[in-house]
Amino acid sequence: MAERQRGGGGAAGEAPEDRKPQSDEARSAFTPPLGVPLPPPPEDEHPTSEFAVPEGIAPEPPGEPEGSAFTLPAGAVAPDSSTTQSTLLPGYTPPYGMPKVSLTKDTPWQDRMRTMLRMPVGERPAPERAAKQDEPGPPVPRVLDLTLRIGELLLAGGEGAEDVEAAMFGVAHAYGLDRCEPTVTFTLLTVSYQPSLVDDPVTANRTVRRRGTDYTRLDAVFRLVHDITSQGLTLEEAYRRLAEIRRNRHPYPGWGLTAASGLLAGAASMLVGGGAVVFLAAALGAMLGDRLAWLASGRGLPEFYQFVAAGLPPAAVGVALSALHGYVDVQASAVITGGLFALIPGRALVAGVQDGLTGYYITAAARLLEVGYLVAGIVCGVLIVLYGGVHIGGATLNPEAALERVERPVIQIIAAMLLSFAFAVLLQQERHSVWVATLNGGVAWVVYGALADTAGLDPVPATAIAAGLVGLFGQLLSRYRYASALPYVTAAIGPLLPGSAVYFALLNFAKNELNTGIASLTKAAALALAIAIGVNLGSEMARMFLKVPGEAASRRAAKRTRGF
């Protein structure tokens, strides 16, 4: 009883939780009993890591820090305002971003816009004309409409697809639409503008239904684009000037164009050995063909039939003179050849090859197909008359005897200049550019005659060299006047057109000499291609060697590089 009371008293003096018996699960096999101190940890045991270096082994020296794409490499020079990407190490992105493209307004707008067109959208410089905070920017639909209308006039006038895109981009860029993408095909113009990556794009297009040859209007449009991109015309002023350009009448009357076609054919006949009578006969046939083509155009016939109608009278005059060979000693073949010079579509041929060389293959294929249809129309018109004259009328047309190569340098140079002059009038050029194109055509014929007649070079490379000089001079003149190069180039290549080769091919076809005809036609195609490539190469040489102000403003390759 006493022990029980002592035990109870001892239990009563303890805390309530101490009175609860502890189970075996509350104790750990590694926990010392109560009242026994913890043993000290052994000296040779320390917590280590599997990545720690063991004793006795020297640690490796620290490696070089990993480089970054934005870290300046060793040996490179930090770019400043005068450092371009070409001075940095190759293969590295500059640490401070891409060099800023600065294209001054002293350069022609064609060069500035071509440079930006061939850049990705993210690398293009922002427009220099930024709208003020308190002034809203120009309405996007009106800017796109003005851009399309300007592009329509340029494409309808025969300008190359690359220059049309450059003009459209220049107009949109000048009014603050920097994220703009123009697209040009043979008959369709499209321009798309996206304000930002999260906004919906605005797209507009326009179809070119009719094309004409009015280089006066083309030159006025080029001046308008230059003023928009360099002088900051307002949208209303640009619309007003564009309306004035559309209202302007052609600089030459209809009878003047008919007389120019006659002068062109007569001068071309003198280039291939004709005299005064041949000059008059070729001029008469060409003027009759021109009036007949205008009559077909007024009746709404397609352009193919207009060329068929235009080719009939010159061939008929030549066949008639050949039938009177016993009474009149006239080179009938020279008459027909002169008429062919007035019909060959040299403008469309040069534009088509230029589009192909600059990477616009769809537009180039369409232009060359158009040239093929027009040449087929000429072939049909002339071949009908030649076949009837040779097989029915008994005309004797011998190209080898009729077009003997006669060296008459003075007469041929004058004839070449007259041909270029008449061609410039037919293209509706401004009067100040007519004389320049005339001199350029005379220089082209002098170069061709010196290479083909004096030096004995093959006609195809001689033609290419002469056309290259035409393209070079035309590009320099266009840069000097901030205008299109077409008025200075197209008329100047007139003396180089393969009129005689086309005539030889048609005459041999009419005489059922297919092999000879195909050979002559192949030569004509080679001469035409040499003219187009020479003109384009001369223009590219002018762009290559003339310095363009601004950093990183070099012209990029067209569309693809080396086929990849």
Q: Which of 347, 385, 336 is nearest to 501 (CA)?
A: 336
The most confident of the ranges 49-58, 215-224, 246-255 is: 215-224
Please tell me the distance from the alpha carbon of residue 439 to that of residue 146, in angstroms, as a whole number: 36
Mean pLDDT of 182-209: 88
**What is the sign, positive or negative, of the torsion defined by CA atoms of 422, 426, 429, 430?**
positive
Q: At which residue do the structure tokens 């309530």 appear?
A: 16
Rounded-to-integer distance, Cα 542 and Cα 516, Å: 39
Which tens digit of pLDDT belongs to each residue from 45-86? 555 555 666 666 666 666 555 555 455 555 555 544 444 444
How many Å apart are CA 492 and CA 524, to the nearest integer?
A: 18
Nearest to 277 by CA among 345, 215, 216, 332: 332
Please give the C-alpha separations between residue 352 and each of 50, 321, 416, 542, in angstroms, as whole numbers. 74, 37, 24, 20
Angle, helices 161-174/140-156, rounded to nearest 10 degrees: 160
Mean pLDDT, range 409-420, rounded to an integer: 90
Q: What is the pTM of this model?
A: 0.71
Whole-angstrom distance, CA of residue 192 vs CA of residue 204: 6
Cα 90 to Cα 119: distance, rounded to the nearest angstrom: 19
Phi, psi of 182 (to 5 degrees): -90, 150
pLDDT in tens, 85-120: 444 444 444 454 444 545 555 566 666 666 666 666
How many C-alpha atoms does 391 have within 13 Å on its Cβ side? 12
In the sheet with 188-193, reading across from the earlier edge strand, the strands are: 180-184, 188-193, 202-207
